[in-house]
Structure formats: C-alpha cells, structure tokens
Amino acid sequence: MYWHSILPSATVIIPRDYTYNKDDIPTGEYHIILDFMIWGNKISGIDLFCAVRQTGQKIRLTVFRDKEENYYLNYLDVHRLQYGSNLNVQVELNGRDKPTLHSITVLSDISGEQSDRRR
C-alpha cells in the first residue's frame, strides 16, 4: 500500500518534521500511528515516521536488518506494516544513551482490525 492512497489529498508529509534527536524521543511504552516508512540510504534499516498518539509528537524510529537480513522486530515483519496502523512500542536507551526500539506490537491496521504480521 502506498502512503498517498490513504492520506487525504491535502496532506503534505515532510520527513524533516519528524525528530530523531535523542533528547526528543520519549522512552518507555506508548502508542504510535505509523505515518510512513523510508528505507535507510546509509544504514541497513527502515525509518518509521510516526506520531505519538498521546501527544501528537512526530518522531522517527529505526528498525535495523537482523542477522538473516530481514527487518523483523520481535518476530514482526516490520517492512510489511500498513501505513496508518496503530502500534504499541517499547523504547529504551541503549548503552550509548540513544533511544532504541525494543518491541513493537500491532494494535490495529487501517481497517481497524487486529493485524498479525508475524513470520
């Protein structure tokens, strides 16, 4: 599914509006709405551009390729997530004090149904 097929025609998405500054990314468990994704250019990862449901803050979280060269996080096939999905995420600081996405669960996709994207 392409992002332009689910967004109103007047909606303009600007990637730079989504922060990836470590001081701006909340840690802990919270709900997000997946706005869109972009494959990394200089890294082996997918940037998830999303809005925190509780605050509306626009953030960017990255899922890196695993040893099998897939984009899974907790058995969830991340690159197959639907834009507009409601997700529950757990973000913690890593050893370098940078926010790291530890878990992700699909609460519902754009149809409102629970989605199972496990391998």
Q: Which domains does the chain have, with CATH numbers?
A: 19-108 (2.40.50.140)
Q: 50-104, pLDDT tens digit by residue?
A: 999 999 999 999 998 888 888 888 888 898 899 999 999 999 999 999 999 999 9
What does each C-alpha distance from 80 to 27, 34, 35, 85, 109 come to in angstroms? 24, 12, 13, 11, 11
71-102 burial, b at 16+ Cβ within 10 Å, e below that, comes to bbbeebebeebebbbbbebebeeeeeeebbbe
Lowest-pLDDT range of 3-17, 37-51, 78-92 = 3-17
Identify the pLDDT of residue 117: 46
CA distance 86 to 34: 7
Question: Is 0.85 surpassed by the pTM of this model?
Answer: no
Identify the pLDDT of residue 7: 54
Identify the pLDDT of residue 111: 62
